[in-house]
Structure 1
Amino acid sequence: MPLSKFFCNNTNGVAAKRERRKEARPGELLDAALDLFVEKGFAATRVEEVAALAGVSKGTLFLYFQSKEELFKAVVRENISGRFKEWNEEFASFEGSSGEMLAYCMNVWWERVGATKASGITKLLVSEAKNFPDIAAFYQKEVIQPGQALIRRILQRGMDRGEFRAMDLDYAVYSVVAPMIFLILAKHSMGVCVSDSVALDPKQYIASQVNTILHGLSMPPDQAAQGKEKV
């Protein structure tokens, strides 16, 4: 091969590699930022650390994200809020009962967010939102409001179909949200929320919460009456 052709091919190969590397950088920075935000929290994470973990300079990071706040927002969009379009479309075509839909919703959320590192973002907001009202407001708009709207859709669907009793949706949504937040806190707090005698299995926990939400704690009237007769 002529040297001129060799150098030409080699130069093209290096250029292509650099281009691929450039295209990959935003994702690498977001992965590094997620790791550090979850591990250290928002306040303690420095952009220099994120850049170093991603293998780039601080200046390179600022080419893609203007501030630590913008980097955090991009992490949230990449790992959580960017999924709502997909979830809404998925639930729009759901054909099962509303009870099955609720169980599916909680399990899918756990599989796609809760069981991943991204669930640490929720714990971060719980602990630091008061000190960073701007990112708290962003999270409220990007995650909490769409999430609650999705849950309201499921509960409203159940009422419209006669599967659920009438309820105040403004408060009923928290019956679904609260158990999932507890599961996140248990995961990221070294089990401090859970008794040592209980091995908290997420799938069993969710199944138990769904059963309680759908059926409550009270015995059905006919079974309660039978129990009284036996006594």
Structure 2
Amino acid sequence: MRVRRKQARPAELLEAALDLFIAKGYAATKVEAVAARAGVSKGTLFLYFPSKADLFNAVVRENIGIRFQQWNQEFETFQGSTAEMLRYSYCSWWEHIGSTRASGITKLMLCEASNFPEIAQFYQQEVSEPGHALMRRILQRGMDSGEFRPVDLDHAVYAVISPFLFLTLSQHASLACIPASLTVSPQLYLENQVNMLLHGLLAS
């Protein structure tokens, strides 16, 4: 039992850290609070994660970063059209990130990145750059096959990912993004976004 408990500690610490980072933000989260929430001492936390930045980076990698390797592998053997691939990427992002607590990490970065360049740089390397590369790969596939018209990839990629950012903000700051009288269905919103995007990308 002692061995199982020791192996469980990093995962428990990451779960506790995710909850507190999302609830309080990076600056306000204290490592003592993370340790207490996980039921261990601060010293035990530092055995696994030497600093708060290391802890946060592990949370980012565990909840978002690991997804990109999986998605790239899936697209290696994807048999459908590029339009279908784009639809799948939207649905998969919502299933694995957008609808989960992990979406709060992106909101945190949007709010606090300028104050913490070290974690911002890590987020760029683990999330932003792989995400952009993946979307560029999808768009390039569509252009190479003649399914999509030629576009400027450096800018078109932002048209693809901007719905993700809107949904992330609406999840965690709904009153600032959506009128109180309106209920937004994330699935219908993403379906509409990808339909509008495809009608602008598909070759005549």
TM-score (norm 1): 0.85
What is the distance in 2 between the residues matched to 1:179 and 1:82? 21
**Residue 212 of structure 1: which of 196, 200, 204 is its match?**
196
The offset of 1:196, in angstroms, is 2.6
Task: Answer 1 or 2: higher relative contact order, Cα 8 Å, separation at least 6.
Answer: 2
Matched position secondary structure for 2:174: coil
Code of the residue aligned with 1:58 in structure 2: it is K
**Residue 162 of structure 1: which of 130, 146, 166 is its match?**
146
What is the distance in 2 between the residues matched to 1:19 and 1:106? 40
Say whether residues 1:33 and 2:33 are aligned partners: no
Matched position secondary structure for 1:212: helix
Larger Rg over CA atoms: 1
**Alignment map for 1:83-102 (pairs within 5 Å):** 83-102=67-86
What is the distance in 2 between the residues matched to 1:27 and 1:112? 18
For structure 2, the residue ranges without an aligned partner over 5 or more in a row are: none
The offset of 1:205, in angstroms, is 0.3
The offset of 1:106, in angstroms, is 1.0
The offset of 1:135, in angstroms, is 0.6
Aligned-pair Cα RMSD in Å: 1.0
The offset of 1:192, in angstroms, is 2.5
What is the distance in 2 between the residues matched to 1:213 and 1:160? 18
Deviations 1:130-162 (A, max 9, x none): 000111111001100000000001000000111
Matched position secondary structure for 1:99: helix
In structure 2, the partner of 1:125 is 109
**Residue 161 of structure 2: which of 172, 177, 195 is its match?**
177
What is the distance in 2 between the residues matched to 1:95 and 1:177? 23
Matched position secondary structure for 1:56: coil
Code of the residue aligned with 2:17 in structure 1: it is A
Matched position secondary structure for 2:177: coil
Code of the residue aligned with 1:183 in structure 2: it is L
What is the distance in 2 between the residues matched to 1:91 and 1:33? 32
**Residue 121 of structure 2: which of 116, 130, 137 is its match?**
137
What is the distance in 2 between the residues matched to 1:109 and 1:99? 16
What is the distance in 1 between the residues matched to 2:17 and 2:181? 35
Instruction: Work out the percentage of aligned pairs sharing the same amino acid.
Output: 62
What is the distance in 2 between the residues matched to 1:148 and 1:59? 38
Matched position secondary structure for 1:70: helix
For structure 1, the residue ranges without an aligned partner over 5 or more in a row are: 1-16, 222-231
